[in-house]
Amino acid sequence: MSKTICIDPGHWPGSVNCAPDKSYWEYEFTWDMYTRLKPLFEKQGFAVVGTPTEQENPSLTARATVSNKAGADLFLSIHSNAVSGGWMSPKGFVAYTSSGPETAERNRAAVNILNAVHEAGITLFGTGKPYHALFTVLTATTAPAVLLECGFHTNRDEVALLKNEVYRDRLASAIVTGVLGYFGVEPKDPESGPPDQPSFWASTAWSNACAKGIFDGSDPQGPLTREQAALVLDRLGLV
């Protein structure tokens, strides 16, 4: 039986949450992350249920109900964080669950995600451990539930990352890696994956290499010629 993940893009159009200069809207980010996470999870053999399937802009309770009806094995609510008062904001990725103890499934899931996010080179907020809050989507769900604040859109540096497609891919692949770790599942490399996409196991490395200009982002699965290898080594300053 494949596991079912319920993904909740935390906000819908009409949500007022945005960066102080209105260059970034949380609802756009959460929907975009949903569209990145869904195929990644499906390639790993998970069934994915999204909270938007039930109604256009479900209430918090309705989102939990979607997960409960689907019998989800894990519920993930996707957000970005904010503090009021302009750009005066910390930065970092935070995972919330409803409460302790550390051994609870929700906290094991959160720790696995936080560790994978950290390993992907993404800054964690504060202690780097799960934080606790009695958010409705965390308390009304029967599945282990984790709410992910993927960074602060009220921090100038971090909102620039949150707007970046390569960074979004990195976040998505790190979250999936963490969930695979939680379920104790080895990542599957989908052979049938499209040639214009990197393999799952290489997606973080590929994103990092493209962000640093080592590759131009095209043809991730193409063979490397000797002259291209020389170019890569030259860009790395190794020749």
Which spans of this chain sit near Zn ion (rule: CB under 5 A)?
Answer: 10, 79
State the nearest-atom distance from the C-beta of 34 to Zn ion, in Å: 13
Please identify, using beta-carbon distances, which residue of 30 and 67 lies nearer to Zn ion.
30
Question: For Zn ion, which is the closer residue by CB, 36 or 79?
Answer: 79
Shortest Å, Cβ 60 to Zn ion: 11
Question: Residue 17 CB, nearest distance to Zn ion (Å)?
Answer: 6
Q: Which is nearer to Zn ion, 20 or 190 (CB)?
A: 20
Cα(22)–Cα(24) distance, rounded to whole angstroms? 5
Q: For the stretch 133-155, what's the b/e string if a residue is b when 16 or more beta carbons lie within 10 angstroms of its beta carbon?
A: eebebbebbebbbbbbbbbbbbb
Q: Report helix angle 26-43 to 165-183, nearest 10.
A: 50
Among all chains, which residue has been given the structure tokens 């979607």? 66
Which of 44, 80 has the CB closer to Zn ion? Answer: 80
d(CA 31, CA 80): 11
* CB 23 within 8 Å of CB 159: yes
The distance between the two most distant Cα atoms of the chain, rounded to a whole number of Å, is 59
Sole residue written with tokens 């109900």: 65
Q: Which of 3/79 has CB closer to Zn ion?
A: 79
If the CB atoms of residues 79 and 170 are measured against Zn ion, the closer one turns out to be 79
Q: Which residue is nearest to Zn ion (CB)?
A: 79
Report CA 208 to chain centroid distance, whole Å.
16
Beta carbon of residue 51, minimum distance to Zn ion (angstroms, whole number): 13
Q: How far is the CB of 15 from Zn ion (least distance, A)?
A: 8
> Closest distance between Zn ion and the C-beta of residue 94, in Å?
11
